[in-house]
Amino acid sequence: MEHMKRIGRTLIHKGAILDFYEDEMLMPTGKVAKWDFLAHKGAAAVLAVKKDGKILMVRQYRPAQERETLEIPAGARDYAEEPTMECAARELEEETGYRAGKIEFLMTLRTGIAYCNEIIDIYLATELETTHQHLDEEEFLEIKEYDLEELCRMIYEGKIQDAKTVSAVLAYKNKYQK
């Protein structure tokens, strides 16, 4: 199979979370096409499981969806080289007010492979201790607790559609709850 080759990249907009580029792509036919590309510094997410088996979730309004969503705690890296485990631990405490006694890698997810380079490393957090939330000024969220089976049911009913959350819940169920 012949491959395409990027021959140019122009920054269109530098944002707080994403940088938007227009790429010039040389097609195998020799034709040049313009493609959109979103650059992201990466993120981390955490599936936090309490001693009683309840999973911590956050409910928050997402403007892109124009509705509230139910998600696992997550956030962007503070800088591109920040270890994702540190980012996950920080986001867990900031968003939920819990600190993990044990945190382990669960999976990596690429969110939009056709147009974006975002990678989210997802961790499993256990042995949780209560601390306090440190929400960003623009964050407004509610912490909820759910049983694994209830979350799975909400996924299959279409009530939870967030890719990182769906992936994390189902991976956890497959790996740890056989």
User: Is there a single domain that holds both residue 91 and residue 143?
Assistant: yes
What are residue 102's DSSP bridge partners? 126
Taking phi over 0 as left and psi of -120 to 50 as alpha, with beta for the rest, 53 belongs to left
User: Is there a single domain that holds both residue 11 and residue 59?
Assistant: no
pLDDT the model gives residue 170: 97
Q: 9 with 24: CB under 8 angstroms? A: yes
**Given the residues 2, 66, 81, 137, the one annotated as active site:** 137
Task: Look at the chain and report how many structural domains it folds into.
Answer: 2
Find the length of the chain.
178
Q: What is the pLDDT along the chain (178 residues), one digit of tens a residue?
A: 678 999 999 999 999 889 999 999 999 999 999 999 999 999 999 999 999 999 999 999 888 888 889 999 999 999 889 999 999 999 999 999 999 999 999 999 999 999 999 999 999 999 999 988 777 777 788 999 999 999 999 999 999 999 999 999 999 999 887 6
The enclosing domain of 114 has a CATH number of 3.90.79.10
Distance of alpha carbon 152 from alpha carbon 158, whole angstroms = 10
The amino acid present at 45, given as its one-letter code, is A
pLDDT the model gives residue 177: 76
Domain hosting 171: range is 41-176
Report residue 169: phi and psi, to 5°.
-65, -45
- Residue carrying the six token digits 């956030």: 75
CA dihedral (15, 13, 113, 62) in degrees, to 10, reads 40
User: Is there a single domain that holds both residue 86 and residue 121?
Assistant: yes
The amino acid present at 131, given as its one-letter code, is T
pLDDT the model gives residue 1: 62
pLDDT the model gives residue 53: 95
DSSP-derived pairing of the beta strands 43-49 and 119-130: parallel
137 given a catalytic annotation: yes
